[in-house]
Structure 1
Amino acid sequence: MNYTLHQLHIFVKITQTKSITKASEELHLTQPAVSIQLKNFQDQFEIPLTEVIGRQLYVTDFGREIAIAAEKILAEVHAINYKTQAYKGQLSGKLKLSVVSTGKYVIPYFLSDFLKKHQSIELILDVTNKTKVIESMEKNEVDFAFVSVLPEKLQVEGIELMPNKLYLIGSEKIDNNLNESPNSILEELPIIYREEGSGTRYTMEKFISLHQLNVKKKMELTSNEAVKQAVVAGLGYSIMPLIGIKNELLNGELVIIPVKGFPLSSIWNLIWLKNKGFSPVATAFLAHVKQEKTKIINEKFGWYLDYIAK
């Protein structure tokens, strides 16, 4: 047999996604390239690794056994690489984080200098909603999670990083009195929601429930960017974190609607499972965040701090 590590990597990804199309997207390869490598890999075995029924690709029992073996081989190759880098005095290994979607505007600044300093580190960063972030932490699949709403059922430790402020936004101003109750405003506007499981939606619904508001849900979208574009287009109003709408505020595409009781507040936290055993990479990153937190916030988020201090 003469299979390559590249073929093993592609085959494992195909078994994970059960789709050549999805595998090619995640590997940033063309579909023909993935198909050719799968065929070349299959040609080295007399027993089928996959089969196509209808338009669905299935992995055979034999294929699953080969995939398990391939994952072990790839893990050993990574271990060799990491040990080589460590022997040369370089910090190496994987750093795995799961981040709520709003966190994509924040967490890169806490990673940038650390990764530049330790270029042998492989970053695995999953940006998703709050529910999926907590699920990945509960399964111990990540080193850290970045959230604005702390999990209720998990024992975690963490570091508070920055305040998270949410405002009512629209594409144009409306006539209202800031001293009015939120009922007179929020109950009259078509409100665009984030999907179930979103931290932004959790904070928003907590406020609505507390004030017993009868809010008109115009639509439900699955990302902050989608909500933002819908508001810009004039499809409705929404409650969004300030951190993600800087450019739209500056160029006048969005405006903040003043409402009594706003902004809504939470805190961005970097958290980890209590008593978790850290790798050297995770330990180094945590030390970096603790040491550089104030400097990063002041240098990168001055505009944000100035705005919320008004």
Structure 2
Amino acid sequence: MKTRLHTRQTTFRQLEIFKTVAERLSVTEAAHALHLAQPTVSTQLAKLSEALGVQPFEQIGKRLYLTDVGEELLASTRELFDVLDRLEMRLAQRAGLSIGRLRLGVVTTAKYLVPALLGPFCKAHPQVEVELQVGNRADIRQRLQANLDDLYVFSHPPRELDIEAQWLTDNPLVVIAPQDHPLARRRRLRWTDLAGERLLMREPGSGTRHAIERHLAQQGWTLGRTLTIASNEAIKEAVLSGLGLAILSRHALTHMAPGNLVELPVQGFPIPNSWYLVTPRGKQSSPIALAFREHLLSALAPKPAGRSSLSAEERRTRPSRRV
């Protein structure tokens, strides 16, 4: 009875703070995500530990780890907030789409796609709270596996997980160079013409890198000198500075001043690539998530017929449209 009393002395806010810290294993990152001061987060965690009589975290060196009881508390907290989300869903159904929350997890390249489409949706539903998480493929895959968001956008959906994936639009990968690069004056290039150039690459685990390595292997081409940079924006800046060439989404060029970067006419490019809308199979989507799904599909129409299910062979062989 005593344990039950102490459990009920906790607050939803304390549990929300705990959940945010536990998922990031960082008080600083959690404070930033919650728009709170770091001491406030630490104080609420201490009050939660005192109320429950347990220590959900342990710190070894500078790293934070969940204890066994912390793992149990995180699982229970997620269940509790899932119940609250379902309640919110039912209330939203009664109130239409005037209130609610939409959680989106998108891979880094999709930041050129999703925010532009999210803007009109938010204007139409100003009281809908949106959480947009952007990360590399490994980060978003982890969020998908933990069922942390309503919808996910991948360029390479994790087929090893039990998911539903719907094709959204093409995301062709092209070779880019500074406008004053000698190769930029050529009308036709072969991969061998790039042999002396350094290629700037995303980190292992990135969907873009996965697509590049697969394409080169299929063509029987090899990589020369490479430099790994874990950000598309940093890669573009490095290309501008003359550090090397890169293979990026063609959509990335639309976010540069005209002419700063150019697409090289390399035979065998662009690499066919696409974006997909992904959810765990059987997930019960909220009315807001369903509305945003329809908004995306409508905004990106027309699309090829029969693309509502995921076929690995079809995705590998599907030709790219120029954008």
| TM-score when normalising by structure 2 | 0.73
Q: CA RMSD in A?
A: 3.6
| CA spacing shift, 1:9–1:96, aligned 2, 3 Å | closer
Task: Choose the corresponding residue for 2:119, options 112, 116, 133.
Answer: 112
State which drifts further: 189-198 or 281-290.
281-290
Q: Does 1:8 align with 2:32?
A: no
Once the two structures are TM-superposed, the CA of residue 223 in structure 1 deviates from its matched residue by 2.0
Quote how far apart the aligned CAs of 1:187 are: 1.3
Alignment of 1:183-262 (within 5 A): 183=192, 185-250=193-258, 252-262=259-269
**Amino-acid identity (%):** 31
Post-superposition offset of 1:15? 3.6
Structure 1 residue matching 2:285: 3-state secondary structure: coil
Q: Are residues 232 and 44 of structure 1, via their aligned partners in 2, closer, same or farther at CA, if it must alter by over 3 Å? A: same
- Opposite residue 174 of structure 1, the aligned amino acid is P
Cα distance in structure 2, aligned partners of 1:235 and 1:265: 26
Residue type at the aligned position of 2:223: V
**Partner of residue 269, structure 1:** 276
Q: What TM-score, normalized by structure 1, do the two folds share?
A: 0.76
Distance 1:284 1:68 in 2: 29
d(CA) in 1 for partners of 2:72, 2:282: 34
User: Aligned pair 1:145/2:152, yes or no?
Assistant: yes
8 Å contact from structure 1 (residues 232, 254) kept in 2: yes
Rate the CA distance shift 1:4–1:217 in 2: closer, same or farther, 3 A.
same
1:34 CA displacement? 2.0
* Superposed CA offset, 1:127-161 (max 9, x none): 22234444544565544332333555457554433
Q: How does 1:35-74 map to 2 (within 5 A)?
A: 35-42=42-49, 44=51, 50=57, 52=59, 54-57=61-64, 74=81
1:237 to partner: Cα distance? 0.9
Residue 270 of structure 2 aligns with an amino acid whose one-letter code is P
Partner SS for 2:170: strand
Amino acid at match of 1:231: V
Q: Is the Cα–Cα contact under 8 Å of residues 95 and 123 in structure 1 kept in the other structure?
A: yes
Aligned to 1:181: 190
2:169 corresponds to 1:162? yes
1:303 corresponds to which residue? none
Contact 1:86 1:92 survives alignment (8 Å): no
Is the Cα contact below 8 Å between 1:96 and 1:143 reproduced in 2? yes
Check the 8 A contact 1:110/1:293 in 2, yes or no: no
Deviations 1:45-103 (A, max 9, x none): 66656555555555556666665665555555555555444433446544343322111
Q: Which runs of 5+ in 1 are unaligned?
A: 296-306
Alignment correspondent of 2:315: none
- Residue of structure 1 equivalent to 2:33: 26
- State the Cα deviation string for residues 194-252 of structure 1 (Å, max 9, x = none): 112222222322332233333323311122112112212221111111211224351x4
- Give 2:3's aligned residue: none
8 Å Cα contact 1:162-1:268 kept in structure 2: yes
Q: Please say if residues 178 and 260 of structure 1, whose CA atoms lie closer than 8 Å, have aligned partners that are also in contact.
A: no
**CA distance in 2 between partners of 1:148 and 1:106 (Å):** 11
| 1:112-139 deviation per Cα after TM superposition (whole angstroms, max 9, x unaligned) | 3333333454434332223444454456
Number of residue pairs aligned between Structure 1 and Structure 2: 296
